[in-house]
């Protein structure tokens, strides 16, 4: 690309599933793209509008009140946060519909109505040079194709999970089946994996409905995406990232986390809090000694496997984790793990490794770091594509 001023005309649309854990990595990636001189709009469904705008109001964030003509004879207010525009489209259901307890129907409706309504709001905005979507809204790639716009996928889980799913859904390796549910799995770039080490979607006992089918379709159609970006950094997952390089490469551009975790000013965080934090929890935390509390998030539908817990513990043997018969780590073993992580020689060793990885993460996102270079290469590539 030529002069810096020309980059200001490059407009990127990022499409996020209406969940805080999906929106925030997209916003943080968008922030890094704006630092490269690009314009960014984040689109998500109307169900997230109220919570997002309430957060902005509480933070006293100014809003961009630009009015854009809608496809319907109405007007749409375009808000922004830290220079990233926000746009909202209907998922085809009323705002009071219980999506959480009707998840399969919700995902089906979103897949049916989302493309139409997303296309409609795209007509009200400047032309896009690239669309970035995430795994829960893979149909955005079809919208991009219909508009002749290149599309990227931001994989928000570890690259390790991407590699496992890619090999599973494309039948490249053997995985547990009903006839042999306890078989071990050997994959390039990874240690030997046992049943309890694998994500639940690839197990014959998988309890989820629409998500495995959606992932299956997506991983068998990755050619729809010109780029796969990962919320990780190369130094953390070298072997597994290299292992898929000749299959369908994933380029880490993270970690897309709050700036405070990277030694940066926390006031610059662009993340949205769609749920109010519990004040008493923060009061309690502030009373504890430094480095004395471990926070573990189990997600909405994803349960940490013993191998993921083992990685968190930086090398504690998987035999430390007892299973309750349902493939879930029991409380006694978690307590044992936490004690070993926080006290004694083992705890000190873990802390040193964690600090080393923390510095590696900071280096990766710093100017000239591996993730920063991957973002710049991605920007240069899609600008070149859009100019052809």
How does pLDDT run across 144-165, given as a tens digit for each residue?
999 999 999 999 999 999 999 9
What's the DSSP call for residue 102?
G
Average pLDDT over residues 324-337: 65
pLDDT confidence band for 352 (50 / 70 / 90): confident
Alpha-carbon distances of 19 from 26, 49, 89, 99, rounded to whole Å: 11, 11, 14, 12
How does pLDDT run across 82-105, given as a tens digit for each residue?
889 999 999 999 988 899 888 889
Domain ranges in the chain are 10-271+364-387
pLDDT confidence band for 305 (50 / 70 / 90): very low
pLDDT confidence band for 378 (50 / 70 / 90): very high
Of 315, 352, 365, nearest to 337 by C-alpha is 315
pTM listed for this prediction: 0.83
Q: What is the pLDDT of residue 60?
A: 55
Q: What is the pLDDT of residue 309?
A: 46
How does pLDDT run across 6-25, given as a tens digit for each residue?
444 799 999 999 988 999 99
Integer-rounded Cα Rg, in Å, for the chain is 22
At 228 the three-state DSSP class reads: strand
pLDDT confidence band for 318 (50 / 70 / 90): very low
| pLDDT over 70 (residue 63) | no
How does pLDDT run across 42-60, given as a tens digit for each residue?
999 998 888 888 777 776 5
Buried b (16+ CB within 10 A) or exposed e, 264-291: eeeeebbbbebeeeeeeeeeeeeeeeee
Average pLDDT over residues 204-210: 77
| Average pLDDT taken over every residue of the chain | 82
Q: What is the pLDDT of residue 379?
A: 95
What whole-number percentage of the chain has pLDDT above 90?
Answer: 51
pLDDT confidence band for 71 (50 / 70 / 90): very low
Alpha-carbon distances of 11 from 1, 14, 82, 258, 383, rounded to whole Å: 14, 10, 16, 24, 10
> The CATH number of 10-271+364-387 is which of 3.40.50.2000, 3.40.50.720, 3.20.20.450, 3.90.1150.10?
3.40.50.2000
Q: Are 151 and 144 in contact (CB under 8 A)?
A: yes
Average pLDDT over residues 26-38: 94
What whole-number percentage of the chain has pLDDT above 70?
Answer: 82
Give the count of beta carbons closer than 10 Å to the beta carbon of residue 182.
8
Average pLDDT over residues 174-186: 93
What's the DSSP call for residue 195?
G
Q: Are 56 and 49 in contact (CB under 8 A)?
A: no
Q: How many helices (H) and strands (E) does the chain have?
A: 13, 9
pLDDT confidence band for 337 (50 / 70 / 90): confident
Of 117, 115, 121, 120, nearest to 144 by C-alpha is 115
Which residues are designated catalytic?
Answer: 22
Average pLDDT over residues 201-208: 83
Alpha-carbon distances of 280 from 145, 169, 261, 271, 276, rounded to whole Å: 48, 44, 22, 22, 12
What's the DSSP call for residue 323?
B
pLDDT confidence band for 363 (50 / 70 / 90): very high
Q: What is the pLDDT of residue 328?
A: 58
How far apart are the C-alpha atoms of 134 and 232, rounded to whole Å?
Answer: 14
Q: How far apart are the first and last CA of the chain?
A: 12
Of 64, 66, 111, 65, nearest to 91 by C-alpha is 111
Q: What is the pLDDT of residue 226?
A: 96
Beta strands 130-133; 11-15: pairing state: parallel
How far apart are the C-alpha atoms of 252 and 157, rounded to whole Å?
Answer: 11
| pLDDT over 70 (residue 322) | no
How far apart are the C-alpha atoms of 97 and 242, rounded to whole Å?
Answer: 43
């Amino acid at each position: 690309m030529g002069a810096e001023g020309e980059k200001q005309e490059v407009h990127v649309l990022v499409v996020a599933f209406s969940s805080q854990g999906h929106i925030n990595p997209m916003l943080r990636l968008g922030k890094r793209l704006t630092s490269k001189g690009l314009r960014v709009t984040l689109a998500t469904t109307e169900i997230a509008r109220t919570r997002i705008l309430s957060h902005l109001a509480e933070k006293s964030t100014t809003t961009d009140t630009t009015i854009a003509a809608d496809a319907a004879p109405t007007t749409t207010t375009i808000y922004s946060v830290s220079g990233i525009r926000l746009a909202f489209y209907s998922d085809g259901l009323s705002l009071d519909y219980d999506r959480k307890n009707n998840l399969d129907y919700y995902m089906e409706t979103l897949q049916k109505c989302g493309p139409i309504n997303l296309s409609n709001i795209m007509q009200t905005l400047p032309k896009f040079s690239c669309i970035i979507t995430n795994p829960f809204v893979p149909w955005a790639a079809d919208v991009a194709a219909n508009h002749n716009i290149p599309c990227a996928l931001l994989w928000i889980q570890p690259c390790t999970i991407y590699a496992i799913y890619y090999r599973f859904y494309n039948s490249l390796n053997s995985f547990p089946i009903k006839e042999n549910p306890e078989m071990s799995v050997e994959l390039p770039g990874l240690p030997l994996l046992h049943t309890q080490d694998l994500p639940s979607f690839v197990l014959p006992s998988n309890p989820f409905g629409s998500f495995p089918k959606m992932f299956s379709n997506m991983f068998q159609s990755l050619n729809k995406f010109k780029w796969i970006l990962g919320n990780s950094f190369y130094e953390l997952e070298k072997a597994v990232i290299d292992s898929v390089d000749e299959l369908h490469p994933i380029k880490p551009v993270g970690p897309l986390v709050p700036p405070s975790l990277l030694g940066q000013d926390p006031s610059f965080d662009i993340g949205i809090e769609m749920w109010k934090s519990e004040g008493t929890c923060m009061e309690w935390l502030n009373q504890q000694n430094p480095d004395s509390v471990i926070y573990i998030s189990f997600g909405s539908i994803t349960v940490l496997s013993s191998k993921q817990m083992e990685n968190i513990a930086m090398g504690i043997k998987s035999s430390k984790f007892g299973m309750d018969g349902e493939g879930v780590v029991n409380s006694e073993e978690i307590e044992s793990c936490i004690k070993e992580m926080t006290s004694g020689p083992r705890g000190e060793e873990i802390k040193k490794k964690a600090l080393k990885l923390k510095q590696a993460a900071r280096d990766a996102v710093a100017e000239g770091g591996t993730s920063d270079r991957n973002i710049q290469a991605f920007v240069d590539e899609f600008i070149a594509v859009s100019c052809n």
